[in-house]
Amino acid sequence: MASEKVHSHDHSHWSDMELKVKTLESLLVEKGYVDPAALDVIVETYEKKIGPRNGAAVVAKAWSDPDYLDRLRDNATEAIAELGFSGRQGEHMQVVENTPAVHNMVVCTLCSCYPWSVLGLPPVWYKSAPYRSRAVSEPRSVLKEFGVDLPDGVRISVWDSTAEMRYLVIPQRPDGTDGWNEEQLADLVTRDSMIGTGLAVSPEEVST
Amino acid sequence: MNGLHDMGGMQCYGPVVPEENEPVFHADWEKRALAMTVGMGFTGQWNIDISRHARESLPPDFYLTKSYYQIWLAGLQKLMLERGMVTPEEITTGKAEVPGIAVKQVVSAPSMPAALAAGGPVEREANSTSEYAIGDKVRTANLNPLGHTRLPSYARDKTGVIVLVHGFHVFPDTNSRGEGEDPQWLYSVAFDSQELFGPHAESGNMIMVDCWESYLERA
């Protein structure tokens, strides 16, 4: 359902859009270009099945299993496919790892390229002009707007997705998680931490 | 094309405003706009680079003020109109006046999960060895083509270092014009933030841009 109060676009013509889109869909169906049931499958896939929990499973495994991390570094597309995540907008994956010295952050300045297979569809802010324009020129300020205040010595590496390579940030594993299993660890991995506009959640934040 | 879509480094758009607990879609029509765009892509009448160019070459005031899925929808209509797949009257009425054109495929519901899972890989078998290796210093060309390109304006005529060699990938500049895939070596090139944005920019950051070999020369 539309959540018009919390969304920043002008929604005054939204009912017009419902009509316009219904009209177009019935035309495309009548012309024989699309099967409406197949369109339902596309919606279902990206609304319910594919989302940031996929990426969180990849990160949790990377934190837990050094051999898996090696495979991710060597060929992320294949390593991610081991967990069953592949396909559209995830055909060519690259992981980038945060360390105490380097923080990675992903953007697409030219359009909205985003690793659908592991994160689902991008949020509105990722596709917005403010993020696309400033992530490359003033990433530290942008991170502050997300509540991430990096120490001065940390270098920021920004990856502009200008090709079909799709980047997944492996955030740093939070302290105090020794002995945690992959399922527990995955709960600490937020969508934003895998775009690089957030950090993984600490155990204290989960328990409160 | 030097257009509004090429946003890197612009300073006029204000703060980033994330939405708390954002839903995947904000209205039902957005779901259908996404599904129609993806679904029509399977008909094989254009490729991803052609569709990106259809969106970025929409009128600038439209591109800047409409929502994401309104832009997708406008791009889709433009692609279909250009190919005679629909007429403007048909878009208004929703009723077909002439039969549809023959398309390469219509993916059925049972086949759709596999089609989505297959995606559209763009890596091709290399027919040359890569010109550059990790650590090589390169300079980007000062390209300003009228059509589609994936070299952002902020990264033109700049010096950087190769940090990744990705493989041999379809070249969007030609593929978007229907001039063939012309696959080339693709690299991540790292630029210092002040090389790109001047001495007053935030210092110490690196910006990586994926660049095809023909965007580069040795520095």
Q: Distance between CA atoms of A114 and A108, rounded to whole angstroms?
A: 8
CA dihedral B195, B151, A120, A105 (to 10 degrees): -10
Residue A176 backbone zone (phi > 0: left; psi -120 to 50: alpha; other: beta) = left
Q: Active-site residue A12, yes or no? A: no
CB atoms within 10 A of CB B89: 9
Q: Distance between CA atoms of B154 and B10, rounded to whole angstroms?
A: 9
pLDDT digit string (tens) for B27-39? 999 999 999 999 9
Q: Active-site residue A3, yes or no? A: no
Question: Does residue B98 carry a pLDDT above 70?
Answer: yes
A20 and B93 in contact (C-beta within 8 Å)? Answer: no
Residues 6+ apart with CB under 8 A from A207: none
B108 and A39 in contact (C-beta within 8 Å)? Answer: no
Residues 6+ apart with CB under 8 A from B121: A91, A92
Q: Which amino acid belongs to residue B46?
A: W
Distance in Å, alpha carbon of B148 to nearest chain A alpha carbon: 11
pLDDT digit string (tens) for A144-191? 999 999 998 999 999 999 999 999 999 999 999 999 999 999 999 999
When pLDDT is averaged across residues B79-106 and rounded to a whole number, the result is 97
Of B18, B22, B31, the CB nearest to A43: B31
pLDDT digit string (tens) for B122-162? 999 999 999 999 999 999 999 999 999 999 999 999 999 99
Which residues share a beta bridge with A75? none
pLDDT band for A9, please (50, 70, 90 cuts).
Answer: low
Question: Does residue B176 carry a pLDDT above 80?
Answer: yes
Which pLDDT value is given to residue A13?
61
Question: Does residue B1 carry a pLDDT above 70?
Answer: yes
Query: What are the C-alpha distances in Å from A164 to residues A26, A93, A112, B25, B182?
Result: 32, 9, 11, 24, 15
| ipTM of this complex | 0.98
Which pLDDT value is given to residue B116?
96
Question: Does residue A3 carry a pLDDT above 70?
Answer: no
pLDDT band for A12, please (50, 70, 90 cuts).
Answer: low
pLDDT band for B83, please (50, 70, 90 cuts).
Answer: very high
Of A9, A32, A91, the CB nearest to B120: A91
Closest residue on chain B to A95 (Cα): B164
Which pLDDT value is given to residue B183?
98
pLDDT digit string (tens) for A75-134? 999 999 999 999 999 999 999 999 999 999 999 999 999 999 999 999 999 999 999 999
CA dihedral B22, B27, B31, B37 (to 10 degrees): -100
Tell which residue, A122, A50, A118, A43, has the closest CA to residue A82.
A118
